[in-house]
């Protein structure tokens, strides 16, 4: 049997051959161009956008540390405000990092006149997410005032601005009742003075009562002596 000879493949025309040759040359060029384009896009994606907003910045906090509140008032001042105290050096209140906040308490009974003084210091650092130390301290001043005005046990509240103490200061005078260990209610006169110097807040809580037949102190006396303590404490912030 005879095998049929394979048919010869049709010859391509000259025009077709030229087209295929051009395509073969163009393909590597396109591949190179494609890689180059991808690379450029990657570089652009790695670089920060020109329109991207800058991170918010805040002024650095002025004060980096706090003094010891128990050492912020001289013993002469303590004895003037808290007559009859048996510990003019004061008693530390609370715990934790004393460079962020610390408080000191003095109390004393002079015959039937009772006085109690608390000095609290609190420092705020600057934080781009929540504001400068000064702003945070100013917000805290308001919170300290609200703490007393929102308490229903406090009566006859009188609030006023005070000049000459730090960057800003306010005073809240009020009356309240406290029950002693025997269950007897006593009338107290109290004063809260809040002062801010840059990023530090000084809070003075001063209370007084007259036991037995003694009268409770006047509002004017409490206000003046609370201011005296705050003025002295401010000078210790450095």
Tell me the β-bridge partners of 91: 105
**Unique residue bearing structure tokens 């601005």:** 161
**Unique residue bearing structure tokens 């401010």:** 234
Q: What is the pLDDT of residue 46?
A: 52
> Where does the pLDDT of residue 212 fall: very low under 50, low under 70, confident under 90, or very high at 90 and above?
confident
Alpha carbon distance 236, 68 (integer Å): 9
pLDDT digit string (tens) for 64-93?
999 999 999 999 999 999 999 999 999 999
Q: What is the pLDDT of residue 19?
A: 46
Quickly list H helices, 74-167: 75-81, 133-149
Q: Which residues contact 74 (CB under 8 A, 6 or more apart)?
A: 232
Q: What is the pLDDT of residue 183?
A: 77
- pLDDT > 90? residue 29: no
Q: What is the pLDDT of residue 23?
A: 45
Highest mean pLDDT among 25-34, 36-45, 89-98 belongs to 89-98
Tell me the β-bridge partners of 170: 161, 194
Q: What is the pLDDT of residue 192?
A: 98
Alpha carbon distance 237, 167 (integer Å): 12
**Alpha carbon of 200 to those of 64, 154, 184, 192: distances in Å?**
10, 26, 38, 16
Phi, psi of 93 (to 5 degrees): -115, 135
N-terminal to C-terminal alpha carbon distance within the chain = 117
Helix (H) or strand (E) holding 6: none
Among 229, 181, 231, 234, residue whose Cα is nearest residue 206: 229
Q: Give the residue with greater pLDDT, 126 vs 23.
A: 126
Whole-number percent of the chain with pLDDT over 90: 69
Count the residues in the chain. Answer: 238
**Unique residue bearing structure tokens 């002024």:** 59
pTM of the model: 0.77
- pLDDT > 60? residue 50: no
Question: By mean pLDDT, which of 128-137, 145-154, 180-189, 222-231 is the weakest?
Answer: 180-189
Q: What is the pLDDT of residue 163?
A: 96
**Unique residue bearing structure tokens 């929102």:** 150
Q: What is the pLDDT of residue 26?
A: 46
Mean pLDDT of 51-64: 81
Q: What is the pLDDT of residue 3?
A: 45
Q: What is the pLDDT of residue 55?
A: 67
Among 195, 185, 201, 228, residue whose Cα is nearest residue 78: 228
Q: What is the pLDDT of residue 179?
A: 84
DSSP assigned state of 171: E
Whole-number percent of the chain with pLDDT over 70: 76
Mean pLDDT of 138-161: 97
């Amino acid at each position: 049997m005879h095998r049929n000879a394979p048919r010869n493949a049709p010859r391509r025309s000259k025009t077709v051959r030229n087209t295929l040759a051009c395509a073969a040359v163009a393909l590597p060029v396109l591949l190179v161009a494609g890689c180059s384009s991808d690379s450029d896009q990657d570089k652009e994606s790695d670089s920060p956008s020109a329109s991207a907003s800058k991170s918010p910045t805040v002024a650095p906090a002025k004060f980096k540390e706090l003094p010891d509140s128990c050492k912020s008032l001289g013993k002469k001042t303590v004895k003037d405000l808290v007559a009859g105290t048996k510990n003019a050096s004061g008693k530390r209140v609370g715990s934790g990092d004393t460079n962020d906040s610390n408080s000191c308490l003095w109390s004393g009974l002079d015959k039937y006149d009772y006085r109690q003084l608390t000095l609290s210091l609190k420092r705020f650092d600057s934080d781009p997410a929540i504001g400068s130390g000064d702003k945070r301290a100013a917000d805290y001043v308001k919170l300290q005032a609200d703490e007393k005005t929102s308490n229903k046990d406090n009566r006859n509240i009188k609030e006023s601005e005070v000049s000459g103490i730090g960057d800003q200061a306010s005073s809240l005078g009020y009356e309240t009742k406290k029950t002693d260990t025997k269950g007897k209610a006593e009338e107290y006169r109290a004063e809260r003075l809040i002062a801010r110097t840059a990023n530090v807040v000084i809070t003075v809580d001063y209370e007084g009562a007259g036991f037995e037949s003694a009268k409770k102190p006047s509002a004017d006396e409490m206000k003046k002596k609370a201011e005296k303590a705050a003025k002295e404490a401010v000078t210790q912030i450095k």
